[in-house]
Amino acid sequence: MFIEKIQYQLGKTNFSIDNLAELNEISSEDAIVFKKLMGLKTIPRDFKSTVITMMIDVLNKLFSHSDTDKNKIKYILFSHTSEFIAPFGFFYLKKIADYFNITQAKYFSSSAYKCATTFQHIKLSHAIIKTMQAEDRILILTCDITFSNILKTISGVAIMGDSITAILLKKEGLLNQYIDSHHIILGEYAKGIWDTAYHLNFFQSQYISELSNLVYCILSKNKMTYSNIKFIFPHNVNSISWKTFSKKTFFPLDKIYLKNIARTSHCFGSDPWINLQDAMSEKLMIPGDYYLLVTVGLGATFSVLLFRY
């Protein structure tokens, strides 16, 4: 399985950390922490768009830069972090299929693994695509909008931005080949941000160890070491956690793609794909390079994907 195309779109308005403090979304104390320790500068938000308008916008761009026959799209998988993003009975993917006249696709959505749901959809797609024809495609969408306060900020941890990403997958190709995935689910943290302060603090104390173990598992499973990895494309929760990861694992910090943290902050499930697409646009890899995409979903799911460029 190969990635044919990635297309993303961010919220159209950039808010500074100070803007959010002025709007009382975060405290002045949190603003200092996010700027000085976490490395955040701007947050993309889009108060005028909805999930459906963002889907239409990003797919218009995707299809305009691809000659893929829409009727060769056999599956559309939608990943989102928030469980409730529309009134009951409103099905985004049916609207999208009708709008773009995609007539041959089966479609469904999931938020089961929060920000890691897209990685589970990649794993699922790898199984599905084996049964498909060479010309067939799978379309994965991941989108979240910060329409409520609970989706905007995790105090002292992350500030969330609005984004959508479309990932077009094909069975055969040359670049961006899927190799493997690994997932660690720690169900004892299923309450997420609604857990007790003690349990949340304990999770934070274990976070880097679990993250390091995740990457170790996929590398050892594929008989590889960190020296085989050209880049890690992470979720953009904050920079300090990845700096700590780098120190613990001795993986070079300059090989963890962190430059978007200041620009986009944490855009839910889109983060690693935004980072990967920007790195490809910058031509930072050559054919044959191995890279990892890494994310963590609330609740808690640690997930990593291994690709060969």
Using one digit for the tens of pLDDT, what is the confidence trace for 198-251?
888 888 899 999 999 999 999 999 999 999 999 999 999 999 999 999 999 999
> Given 138, 170, 202, which residue is the final one in a domain?
170
114 shares a domain with 138: yes
pLDDT at 141: 98
Task: Calculate mean pLDDT across residues 56-84.
Answer: 92
One domain for residues 286 and 234: yes
Amino acid at 60: N
Q: Assess whether 118 and 229 both reside in one domain.
A: no
pLDDT, residue 90, reads 79
Write the pLDDT tens digit of every residue in 239-293: 999 999 999 999 999 999 999 999 999 999 999 999 999 999 999 999 999 999 9
Give the pLDDT confidence score for residue 233 in this predicted structure. Answer: 98
Segment 80-115, tens digit of pLDDT: 998 877 777 778 899 999 999 999 999 999 999 999
CA distance 66 to 4: 9
Q: Based on the domain organization, do 42 and 185 belong to the same domain?
A: no
- Give the list of residues 6+ apart from residue 236 with CB closer than 8 angstroms, or none: 258, 260, 261, 264, 265, 266, 267, 271, 274, 275
| Residue-wise pLDDT tens digits, 155-199 | 778 999 999 999 999 999 999 999 999 999 999 988 888 889 888
Q: What is the pTM of this model?
A: 0.96
Containing structural domain, residue 218: 177-308
CA quadruple 45, 99, 115, 251: dihedral sign = negative
Same domain, 119 and 214: no
The answer on 134 and 244 residing in a single domain is no
Residues 164 and 182 in one domain: no
Residues 51 and 188 in one domain: no
pLDDT at 89: 72
Asked if 287 and 249 sit in the same domain, the reply is yes
DSSP string, the chain: -EEEEEEEEE-SEEEEHHHHHHTTSS-HHHHHHHHHTS---EEEE-SS--HHHHHHHHHHHHHHT----GGGEEEEEEE-SSS--S-TT--HHHHHHHHTT--S-EEEEE-TTGGGHHHHHHHHHHHHHTTS-TT-EEEEEEEE---SHHHHEETTTEEB--EEEEEEEESS-SSSEEEEEEEEE-GGGTTGGGS-HHHHHHHHHHHHHHHHHHHHHHHHHTT--GGGEEEEEE--S-HHHHHHHHHHH---GGGB--THHHHH-B-GGGHHHHHHHHHHHTT---TT-EEEEEEEETTTEEEEEEEE-
* Distance of alpha carbon 73 from alpha carbon 295, whole angstroms: 27
Kindly report, residue by residue over 31-63, the tens digit of the pLDDT.
Answer: 999 998 889 999 999 988 999 999 999 999 999
Please indicate, yes or no, whether residues 53 and 108 belong to a single structural domain of this protein: yes
Among the candidates 118, 136, 170, a domain finishes at: 170
Q: How far apart are CA 153 and CA 150, in angstroms?
A: 7
Say yes or no: 158 and 16 in one domain: yes
How far apart are alpha carbons 304 and 245 in whole angstroms? 14
Residue 232 is part of a domain; what is its CATH number? 3.40.47.10
Kindly state whether residues 129 and 254 are assigned to the same domain: no
Q: Final residue of a domain: which of 170, 199, 215?
A: 170
